[in-house]
Amino acid sequence: MQHSISTKREYANEDDDVVKRHQPHLAGKTDEIIARLINLIPGKEQSIELPAHPVISVGRSRHCDIILKEADISTIHCQLYTIQMDLDRGNRKMVNIVDKSRNGTFINGNRLIKRDYILKNGDRIVFGKSSSFLFKYTAIPDEVEVGVDLTASKFNNNDGVFKKPQMAASSSQSSLKKRLKSRPPSVFDKYLIEKELGSGHYATVKEGINKRTGEVVAIKIFHPQQNDDHKKSNQFREETNILMRVHHPNIVKLLDSFVEPVSKAQIQKYLVLEKVDDGELFDRIIKKVSLRQEETKALFNQILEGIKHLHSQNIIHRDIKPENILLNITRRRYPDEKQLGPWDEDEIDIQVKIADFGLAKFTGEIQFTNTLCGTPSYVAPEVLLKSDYSSKVDMWSAGVLLYVCLCGFPPFSDSLGPPSMRDQILTGKFAFYSPYWDDIEDSVLHLVTNLLVVNSDVRFSVIEAMEHPWFKKSNSNSISMEPNRLQIDQGKIPKTYSELSKV
Ligand SMILES: Nc1ncnc2c1ncn2[C@@H]1O[C@H](COP(=O)(O)OP(=O)(O)OP(=O)(O)O)[C@@H](O)[C@H]1O
């Protein structure tokens, strides 16, 4: 379909002298070009420069700065405002789009409906039904190689030909480097954001591709929130800067973080994370009902390695649960390939990656339920009581997780009551029910029993857990204890995660 777009100049040249006199064409020679609207339809490529004018109007009216002639375009369809935004990485001019239309302005498929939205690099804007454009800010520091003159990319034509920036004279290189530093990129400058990988209560996680290196990452996009607390945004930035220094093979690497405006009233936080390919431990438990002891041991050992590293850096995870344990699985490629652990037949190795470390405080409350409604939380008694707590809260959660891996249902649950789940947690009341625990070694029961201890001073630390005889083949019989193995009314046994997932 032919896009009939004309800037004011074209329109004036065509048929209206009055317009020509009173409405100069959109971009004057001295105007700073802040962004471009790009029509990518093959054969009709076109680039409309957007100068940093306070307001640019788009619509059918001949008084608009950008005239779209399609029948579904309103007289004034939308307005583009240049606004100075105070981003966490400095100030930046951005374009705020305000919809005024009857048939809608769509950003990446979502209708604005008379709202405002701050445009991001790579946004696809559709006016009405089919006037479709890609939106791009002109200077994109992260995409430009050092030594390339950004001023050369200030094309001053609307002919739709995308010229490559020219090489700068060496004298301008240091000023360019300074500009690159002082004009920090948005997440959209740096990454192409692709398919959704999953979503949770607070965020959607999408695949991202680093435009410069091609690295594939996971980008956690938190739901927009009111832009009323600069202090919190700064805290987010400072904390994530610390978390970015954490490097360990069993911890999902935090690569970057951004806080960006969505509209004048709302901001959105982004975390760029190492991408983990094979889902959550939670799904593995659902699929298998419970995990074999040797498999649990191999996974739990890696989980403890990750927690040990966090604790050594004075970081408390605060939200250890199977949804936050991600897996990278190396699949078998040929029949006699040697397995590197006690994994399933088609698996050569599994690497555990702990996700969301240290971030619980940004998502508000630590969650008291997990994704399957009514299943228990992993929180320690001192967290429930909102009293002072230490890294030992992670060890309580690790104890719940170990219990769940081995039998498929949680140690604390309202269905086991009375008392209530909360009171079971506060008093540390749990047991190993027959027949579920009958074939499981006393040694691991001893470990669980030393993790689910109400008094955090007595509860095992991560080092104590790692040194437990269960992990050491020769020592696993050296434990003397009478585990609390109980018979229980079948009707009282909580449903396994696997059963709950089918409800
Ligand atoms: N680094 C990653 N690589 C691949 N997938 C990921 C990664 N991080 C998260 N995901 C997936 O994205 C989904 C949602 O992520 P996440 O659980 O972190 O969001 P959330 O809103 O914090 O969730 P919750 O409701 O559990 O607090 C999950 O299903 C998870 O498997």
Model ipTM value: 0.96
Q: How far is the CA of 261 from the centre of ligand 1 (A)?
A: 22
- At position 275, the amino acid (one-letter code) is K
Which residues 6+ apart lie within 8 Å of 357 measured at CB? 243, 246, 251, 252, 310, 315, 317
Return the residue whose CA atom lies nearest to atom 12 of ligand 1.
Answer: 198
Q: What is the pLDDT of residues 33-49, one digit of tens each?
A: 899 999 877 766 788 99
Q: How far is CA 79 from CA 7, 57, 330, 391, in A?
A: 15, 4, 51, 52
Contact 197 CB / ligand 1 (< 6 Å)? yes
Return the residue whose CA atom lies nearest to atom 20 of ligand 1.
Answer: 200
- Report pLDDT for 7: 44
Q: Is 102 exposed, middle or buried (0-12, 13-18, 19+ CB in 10 A)?
A: exposed
- Report pLDDT for 10: 40
Stretches in the chain below the pLDDT threshold 50: 1-24, 140-173, 176, 179-184, 369, 371, 373-374
Contact 251 CB / ligand 1 (< 6 Å)? no
Contact 319 CB / ligand 1 (< 6 Å)? no
- Report pLDDT for 236: 81
Angle (CA) 297-303-305 rounded to 5° is: 105
- Report pLDDT for 16: 38
Per residue, what are the HEC states of 191-244? EEEEEEEEECCCEEEEEEEECCCCCEEEEEEECCEECCCHHHHHHHHHHHHHHC
Return the residue whose CA atom lies nearest to atom 17 of ligand 1.
Answer: 200
Pick from 209, 220, 246 the residue to mutate for probing ligand 1's pocket: most ligand atoms within 8 Å of its CB: 220
- Report pLDDT for 311: 93
Q: How far is the CA of 283 from the centre of ligand 1 (A)?
A: 12
Contact 287 CB / ligand 1 (< 6 Å)? no
Backbone angles phi, psi at 489, to 5 degrees: -55, 125
What b/e string do you get for 189-221 counting C-beta neighbours within 10 Å, with b at 16 or more? bbbebeeebeebebbebbbbbbbeeeeebbbbb
Contact 202 CB / ligand 1 (< 6 Å)? yes
- Which atom of ligand 1 is the closest one to the Cα of 277? 4
Separation of alpha carbons 31 and 52, rounded Å: 7
- Report pLDDT for 121: 84
pLDDT over 70 for what percent of the chain? 76
- Report pLDDT for 467: 95
- Give me the long-range contacts of 455-459 (CB less than 8 A, separation at least 24): 456/380, 456/382, 456/389, 456/390, 456/392, 456/393, 456/396, 457/392, 459/392, 459/395, 459/396
Contact 196 CB / ligand 1 (< 6 Å)? no
Contact 218 CB / ligand 1 (< 6 Å)? yes
Q: How far is the CA of 405 from the centre of ligand 1 (A)?
A: 20
Return the residue whose CA atom lies nearest to atom 9 of ligand 1.
Answer: 205
Q: How far is the CA of 186 from the centre of ligand 1 (A)?
A: 22
- Report pLDDT for 186: 83
Separation of alpha carbons 161 and 155, rounded Å: 9
- Report pLDDT for 494: 75
Q: What is the pLDDT of residues 325-349, one digit of tens each?
A: 999 999 999 999 999 999 999 999 9
Pairing of strands 55-59, 66-68: parallel
Separation of alpha carbons 314 and 395, rounded Å: 14
Q: How far is the CA of 203 from the centre of ligand 1 (A)?
A: 8
Positions annotated as catalytic residues are: 319
- Report pLDDT for 253: 95
Separation of alpha carbons 425 and 378, rounded Å: 9
Residue spans of alpha helices (H) in 260-334? 281-288, 293-312
Q: How far is the CA of 384 from the centre of ligand 1 (A)?
A: 24
Task: Count Cβ atoms below 10 Å from residue 176 Cβ, excluding itself.
Answer: 18
Contact 254 CB / ligand 1 (< 6 Å)? no
Q: Does 220 appear as a known binding residue?
A: yes
Pick from 193, 195, 197 the residue to mutate for probing ligand 1's pocket: most ligand atoms within 8 Å of its CB: 197
pTM of the model: 0.74
Q: Which of 452, 401, 436, 413 is nearest to 282 (CA)?
A: 401
